[in-house]
Chain A
Amino acid sequence: MIYDVAVIGAGVIGGLTARELTKYKLSVVLLEKESDVACGASKANSGIIHGGFDPEPDTLKAKLNSTGVDKLYKTAQMLHVPHKNNGSFVCAFSKKEEAHLKELYDRGIENGIEKMSIISGDEARAIEPNLSPEITAVLNVPTAGIICPYELTIAAVGNAMKNGAVLLTDFTVTSIINDGCFNVSSADGRCVKARYVINCAGCYGDKIAAMVGDDSFEIIPRAGQYILLDKKEGARVSHTIFQVPSKEGKGILVSPTVDGNLLTGPTAEAVDCPMCVNTTPEGLETVQRLAAKSVPSVQFREVITSFCGVRSSEKNGDFIIEESKAQKGFINVAAIDSPGLTSSVAIAEYTVEVLKNAGLELELNPDFDGTREDPHFFRHLTDEEKNEYIKKNPAYGKIICRCETVTEGEIRDAIRRDPKPQDIDGVKRRTRSGMGRCQGGFCKPFVMKLLAEENGCKMEDVTKNGKTSQMVLGKL
């Protein structure tokens, strides 16, 4: 068959774009080179819904950020993606930085951001007592928030699939040939035909564009290292705490996460390749030092894990969302770095507009259902309700992950729900099993068994993250 649209890359942008396309009577295929969705920048970023004061006015970033905030909150609600409108503080430590705050404030006004205010350090500390006494003034952005970025992606792809989109994983695009329609081929010999192609390949965006002869942009992978702390530290601050961008730190933040942990980071380092997701001693040291500048009492001995994500930047600094000049019908959605997550829903809508302008006829799909049932409903039940539910589904009584209180029932359901996780990390991102303070030390063997059982494979075939990441190497 020939699909109407092939979307390359099942990150947050590809996922939401695919979902947006299923609002219309279109056949949509989503191609992903990894075994799971959200395996690039979408799984390892700050998870921030930015207020929108930062982008230069009149850029795509400014436009899509300011319009994207409300759209994202609304979509997150429809898809039951954990999120919170916790507000953000941008902290100044000197008169000079206070002047910079004012600039950010003015820019925010120009970008149409509402409810912002500049408050004194003392006023800020009255709200956030753990802020550094060195902080002299704060830009208060009440519309900002936090969201779980990989769950947003999983939900978007799942919802797109519910509305008819097809997801092909382990599909590494190696060539795109247009012979009247696009023939998108993968490394393992599969070929998908489509009338339109949307390039949402993140850090690989320039390489995918090059396959249709488009070398108009070059992606610069930028690594960001993070340290995630135990829930014991989760209440250290309630707002997302930024610093005024300076020579030393361009945005090391201290923020609660939607799951109640405390997140610190990221660094920002140009790296050679999208796979350069290694943390470094220097990077982790920088995160600790700069996080402590804003919130000195953060207890770094409560670290749960550290990780590194690579985002796709481009030298012009703005999003690239347009039909390729080199190839009609091929749409680039590239260079989606910060505030890409905040803008993601707006980007998806904008991309469909671009597609329409490129000639794709859009007819509303009357059967579109943009909602997802809450996969975490069980967490929110009262003990009495849980009891009732367990009586019907005993697997919900068996807790597999103690640290995060995840039951066998929740894990089995997650393994069966689209997009189906193929490996341990996929289960972890969907259920939080193994994401707590013991990092899977206790639950890992159980999750491996459940994966093997549900997917009908052997324990030796269970992987951590992708096809060649076997957990065990054979039977004894």
Chain B
Amino acid sequence: MERNLTCIICPRGCSLTVTVDGENTKVSGHGCPKGEKYGIDECVNPVRTVTSIIRVDNREDTMVSVKTADPIPKGMIFELMEIIRATKVSAPVYIGDVIIENVFGTSVIATKDIK
């Protein structure tokens, strides 16, 4: 099986061709090793970093932005969003603070300081 993908590791957007032949997966068109890994992962186990916001309950009209510390399986995005939506945090929050632990093999961390 051959799939044509656009690499999204960096903004350069290399055109990848991924050939999956049983155990063997071969990538061409990549500009860097990360791209090669992306090509393979995207065909075997696609993952995404999810970013969103969580309401800060002790600050008026304040949201803290968050992200998954590592990419999660693409199919789990909406399930994670449900969890994020049900979560509230209290300030102070600092960049890197873990907001939600152990979700889909990673955690959700703050990307903004709310002092």
B53 interfacial by beta-carbon distance below 8 Å: yes
Q: For residue B63, which residues in chain A have a CB less than 8 angstroms away from its CB?
A: 476
Interface residue tally on A, bucketed by range: under 10
Interface string of B43-87 (1 = CB under 8 A from A): 000000000010100000101000000000000000000000100
Roughly how many angstroms separate A459 CA and B61 CA in the complex, as a whole number? 10
A475 to B63, CA, bound (A): 11
| CA–CA, A475 and B61, complex, Å | 10
- Residues of B within 8 Å of A459, CB to CB, are 61
Find residues 416-468 in chain A having any chain B CB closer than 8 Å to their own CB: 459
Nearest residue (CB) in B for A459 is B61
Nearest B residue to A452 via CB reads B61
Which residue of the partner chain B has the closest CB to A476?
B53
CB < 8 Å A-B pair total: 6
Q: Considering only CB atoms, which chain B residue lies closest to A475 in the complex? A: B55
Q: Can you list, as one digit per residue, whether each of A277-316 has a CB less than 8 Å from chain B (1) or not (0)?
A: 0000000000000000000000000000000000000000
Q: What CA separation (Å) do A412 and B33 show in the bound complex? A: 57
A459→B60 CA distance, assembly (Å)? 12
Secondary structure of the A contact surface, majority rule:
mixed
| Least distance between A453 CB and chain B CB atoms (Å) | 11
Q: What chain B residues lie within 8 Å of A476 (beta carbons)? A: 53, 55, 63, 85
Return B98 CB to nearest CB of chain A, in Å: 21
Residues of chain A with a CB closer than 8 A to B61's CB: 459
A104 to B55, CA, bound (A): 67
Tell me, in angstroms, the Cα distance from A171 to B59 when the chains sit together.
39
Interface flags, B17-43, vs A, CB<8A=1, else 0:
000000000000000000000000000
A459 to B85, CA, bound (A): 20
Shortest A364–chain B CB gap in Å is: 52
Q: Which residue of A lies closest to B63 (CB)?
A: A476
In angstroms, Cα B63 to Cα A459, docked, is: 15
Once bound together, how far apart are the Cα atoms of A311 and B53, in whole Å? 47
Q: Report A56-68 CB contacts with B as 1/0, cut-off 8 Å.
A: 0000000000000
Q: For the complex, what is the distance from the CA of A476 to the CA of B53, rounded to whole Å?
A: 9
Q: Which positions 70-112 of chain B face chain A at CB distance < 8 Å?
A: 85
Closest to B53 in A: A476
A476 CA / B62 CA spacing, docked (Å): 11
Q: Which residues of the partner chain A approach B55 to less than 8 Å between Cβ atoms?
A: 475-476
User: Could you say which residues of chain B place their CB within 8 Å of the CB of A475?
Assistant: 55
A134–chain B nearest beta-carbon distance, Å: 52
In whole angstroms, what is the CA distance A475 to B53 when docked?
A: 12
Bound-state CA distance A476–B61 (Å) is: 11
- Give min CB distance, A448 to chain B, whole Å: 11
A475 to B85, CA, bound (A): 11
Closest-CB distance, A78 to chain B (whole angstroms): 42
The smallest beta-carbon distance between B99 and chain A, in angstroms, is 15
A476 and B63 CA atoms in complex are apart in Å by 10
A445–B60 alpha-carbon span in the complex (Å): 15
Complex CA–CA separation, A417 to B53 (angstroms): 37
Contact partners of B85 in chain A: CB under 8 A: 476
Binary contact readout A253-291 vs B (1 if CB under 8 angstroms, 0 otherwise): 000000000000000000000000000000000000000
Q: Complex: how many Å from CA A94 to CA B55?
A: 69
Q: Name the distance in Å between A451's Cβ and chain B's nearest Cβ.
A: 14
How far, in whole Å, are A359 and B61 apart by their CA atoms in the complex? 58
How many Å from the CB of B47 to the closest CB on chain A? 25
A475 to B60, alpha carbons, bound, how many Å?
13
Q: With the chains together, A4 CA to B96 CA distance in Å? A: 69
Bound-complex Cα distance A170 to B56 (A) = 37
Complex: A218 Cα to B82 Cα, angstroms: 57
A364-B70 Cα distance, complex, nearest whole Å: 79
**Nearest B residue to A449, CB-CB:** B61
B54–chain A nearest beta-carbon distance, Å:
9
- Least distance between A187 CB and chain B CB atoms (Å): 34
Distance from A44 Cβ to chain B, minimum over Cβ atoms (Å): 34
Q: How far is the CB of A188 from chain B (nearest CB, A)?
A: 31
Contacts of B53 in A (CB 8 A): 476
Chain B nearest Cβ from A462, distance in angstroms:
13
Q: How many whole Å from B51's CB to the nearest CB in chain A?
A: 14
Q: What's the minimum C-beta distance from B87 to chain A, rounded to whole angstroms?
A: 12
C-alpha spacing A56/B39, complex, angstroms: 79
Q: How far is the CA of A113 from the CA of B52 in the complex (A)?
A: 67
CB-CB contacts below 8 Å: B2-19 with A:
none
- Taken together as a complex, chains A and B put the C-alpha atoms of A98 and B63 apart, in Å, by 67
- Smallest beta-carbon distance B70→chain A, Å: 24
Query: Interface on A for B, CB 8 Å cutoff?
Result: 459, 475-476
6 pairs of residues in contact across A and B, judged by CB atoms under 8 Å: A459-B61, A475-B55, A476-B53, A476-B55, A476-B63, A476-B85
Q: Which residues of B contact A (CB under 8 A)?
A: 53, 55, 61, 63, 85
Give the 6 A-B CB pairs with smallest separation, nearest first.
A476-B53, A476-B85, A476-B55, A459-B61, A476-B63, A475-B55
